[in-house]
Amino acid sequence: MNTAELLVKCLENEGVEYIFGLPGEENLDVLQALRHSSIKFITTRHEQGAAFMADVYGRLTGKAGVCLSTLGPGATNLMTGVADANLDGAPLVAITGQVGTDRMHIESHQYLDLVAMFAPVTKWNAQIVRPSITPEIVRRGFKLAQAEKPGAVHIDLPENIAAMEAMGNPLRTTDHEKTYASYQAVQAAAELINQAQNPIILIGNGVIRGHASAALTHFATELNIPVANTFMGKGGIPYDHPLALWSVGLQQRDYISCGFDHADLVIAVGYDLIEYSPKRWNPDSNIKIIHIATTHAEIDSSYIPETEVVGDISDSLYEILKRADRHDKPTPYALHLRQDIVADYMQYAQDDGFPIKPQKLIYDLRQVMGPEDIVISDVGAHKMWMARHYHCQRPNTCLISNGFAAMGIAVPGALAAKLVYPDRHIVAVTGDGGFMMNFQELETALREGTNFTTIIFNDGGYGLIEWKQHRYFGESAFIKFGNPDFVKLAESMGLKGYRVESALDFIPILKTALEQDVPTIIDVPVDYSENLRFNQRIGEITCSYE
């Protein structure tokens, strides 16, 4: 047995199902070992796509997704997806090939110090310098990747070490034991809630990762406290719940901002500061905060909790609920605020304009998708609309790259989602800019039999940058480009392509596309003049709720 074979045995021991990546000279021994493994290697068309697949696999399963590259340019191509997973709290293990240790002291073809390069974008990374340490490095890597807050780790394997004879066995894996909040913290939180006149709950991705959605919904319902979610907290409470105020996270004021204006207490549950800066909802640092999470709060001048309830989130919520009482303190402002939020959403339900308004497109998408179906949003102007208008009944049914906000995640991410949930409808929602960054992974999807649908918001430019340019300068520059015929592109790849030519076309085309046995593309001309109209409308919002 060589080191590469021992590495693969350790990966099997960690329960790895898939490795996403590209073959290269410096990972030949690992690839050979995988030929005799239960792990399925999925050959992608680009290392960035491989890393995004591992990223989304980790988000959906809670188990580290694994991606593999060769050295040099292969490793640098992994970086974007690795950084995305790390900032968004997705467990991921990246494995890179490397030159032999006998070449590292000299200038060598394609050599980079990958341990140094990956250090800023991982929780931990290491090089296997002796065969015998392989089991310890793999076990530590997976343990750290999957521990709260999850993130990315990197393992570098020099080619001469990979080929060396190895002795040893995988180390025993252990489950993460739950930790529980202190009585003092729970009691302090309950007292703050009892004293508050206008509390609001802010939920983040920790609620999703911690499987605490049921506990959160029960907690909010019993205490009659309205709930807002970050982009990554979607589905933490069902969107049709009467206390759900939907998403917060835009970089400008919105209806939900009124909820924070009225708040004298924010109960932050599973919230990570990177999801939405507290300086946007607590700019004067005068709102009292309760921090409920599995880890302590980060330091920020606008986020200084009165108490930190650190432990299993569901348990903490149930324990606080036992001690809190708000039956005599209704929150009527929240009901009025929700009515305005819902009215704003519903006004596009019958809109028949063409090109289609993004609000209408997303409204219709929600009508077709089931509660358990999954959308993966790319990054761009459409992401802002998806974050604001696509609402979730269940956790982990709308995935948005938010901390790193990397374009190109949607198509490879949808492939990974279909592997995890083959019986669900999966939709990649992307702009034409983000689509062209990783559309080549549709060939991977076809080869692997993962039939998902990609919806392209087509405006012939970088719409989000145009939006920002007009907001700050009143004009735009350098944002327009040309596109191929997306229907013909799909057909040339053995896929099925559709083009929407009226607002009435979209729903029947989407239903047809979702039933195909190959990946499908829907080209939708979109009216992004709504971006600037949104800026104007939002500027007219007044918070008059009592």
The pLDDT, as a whole number, for residue 99 is 86
How confident is the model over 425-443, as a mean pLDDT? 97
Over residues 455-467, the mean pLDDT reads 93
**Cβ atoms 435, 457 nearer than 8 A:** no
Residue spans per domain, the chain: 3-163, 183-331, 347-536
Q: How confident is the model at residue 255 (pLDDT cuts 50, 70, 90)?
A: confident
| pTM for the structure as a whole | 0.96
Residue 518 binned pLDDT confidence (cut-offs 50, 70, 90): very high
* Concatenated DSSP letters of 59-119: HHHSSPEEEEE-STHHHHHHHHHHHHHHHHT--EEEEEEE--GGGTTS--TT---HHHHHG
C-alpha to C-alpha distance for 394 and 410, rounded to whole angstroms = 19
- When pLDDT is cut at 50, 70 and 90, the band that residue 539 belongs to is low
Among the residues of 324-457, which ranges form H helices? Answer: 332-346, 358-368, 381-389, 410-420, 432-438, 441-448
Q: pLDDT grade, residue 267 (50/70/90)?
A: very high
- Say what the pLDDT of residue 532 is: 82
Task: Find the mean pLDDT for residues 384-400.
Answer: 96
Q: Collect all residues with Cβ–Cβ distance below 8 Å to 73 and sequence separation of at least 6.
A: 110
pLDDT digits (tens, 9 = 90+) for 365-390: 999 999 999 999 999 999 999 999 99
Q: Which residue has the higher pLDDT, 87 or 110?
A: 87
pLDDT tens sequence across 95-149: 999 988 777 776 777 778 999 999 999 999 999 999 999 999 999 999 999 999 9
Cα–Cα distance measured from residue 144 to residue 25, given in angstroms and rounded to the nearest whole number: 29
pLDDT of 516? 98
Rounded to a whole number of angstroms, the CA Rg of the chain reads: 24
Structure confidence at residue 250 (pLDDT): 84
Arithmetic mean of pLDDT, 468-479 = 90
Q: Is the pLDDT of residue 545 over 70?
A: no
Superfamily of domain 183-331 in CATH is TPP-binding domain (3.40.50.1220)
**Closest alpha carbon to 428 in 374, 355, 369:** 374
Say if 183-331 and 347-536 have the same CATH topology. yes
Token pair in block for residue 92: 């991921």
As given in the structure block, the two tokens for residue 475 are: 């004009």
The single residue listed with the structure tokens 């021992």 is: 6
- Mean pLDDT rounded to a whole number for the chain: 94
Residue among 403, 407, 402, 449 at smallest CA distance from 428: 407
DSSP 243: T
Q: At what angle do helices 441-448 and 47-61 cross, to 10 degrees?
A: 60
**What angle is formed at CA 102 by the lines to CA 100 and CA 105, rounded to 5 degrees?**
110
CATH for 347-536 (2.30.40.10, 3.40.50.970, 1.20.58.340, 3.40.50.1970) = 3.40.50.970
Domain 3-163 grouped into CATH 3.40.190.10: no
pLDDT (tens digit, 9 = 90+) per residue, 64-74?
Answer: 999 999 999 99
pLDDT of residue 327: 75
Which pair of structure tokens corresponds to residue 311? 């432990």
pLDDT-derived band at 468 (thresholds 50, 70, 90) equals confident
So what's the pLDDT on residue 133? 97
- Report the percent of the chain where pLDDT is more than 90: 86
pLDDT value, residue 363: 97
pLDDT at 546: 54
